[in-house]
Amino acid sequence: MDSLAALREKIPSFPGYREEGDRRLSGELVRSYLGEALADLRDRLEPLPPELETSIDDAIVNVGFVNQQTWHVFEDAARTVTSFDALAAADEDVLRVAGDAAAVDVRSLAAYLDEVAATLDRRDATLRGYAAPASSN
């Protein structure tokens, strides 16, 4: 199964990336999927030590908003892109990490949140990777 099909299996309304509005909605759906997994995880593990509660709350806030700088770079480049396979794979990875939340306990929470952050960083790098390389004149 390709990444887009896997995304649509978990998020049936997932529109894909062809049109600008679809790209924006797809990003929101992926972030929301992860945010819900993090909120469920927080609720399941309560009460948490203060430092872990702060960390998970920060992660939830982080997924609630698109990285505007990265998004603008991507959107400028996306107008001429014919394949969004790399982004679909990155989004599939975000959903995989969201699914991993069910197995996290208090002892593994900090490491899991590090994995969440690293996965989102890789997704941002994928978005930036769609930009055309600068000309070397």
Domain boundaries along the sequence of the chain = 3-10+18-129
Q: What is the pTM of this model?
A: 0.92
Residue showing tokens 């991507």: 74
Give the model confidence (pLDDT) of 56-65 as tens digits. Answer: 999 999 999 9
Helix (H, G, I), strand (E, B) or coil at 112: helix
Q: Would you say residue 90 has pLDDT above 90?
A: yes
Residue 11 pLDDT level (bands cut at 50, 70, 90): very high
Residue 137 pLDDT level (bands cut at 50, 70, 90): very low
Q: Would you say residue 132 has pLDDT above 90?
A: no
Q: Would you say residue 134 has pLDDT above 60?
A: no
The confidence score (pLDDT) of residue 79 equals 87
Question: How far is Cα 134 from Cα 114, in angstroms, rounded to an integer?
Answer: 32
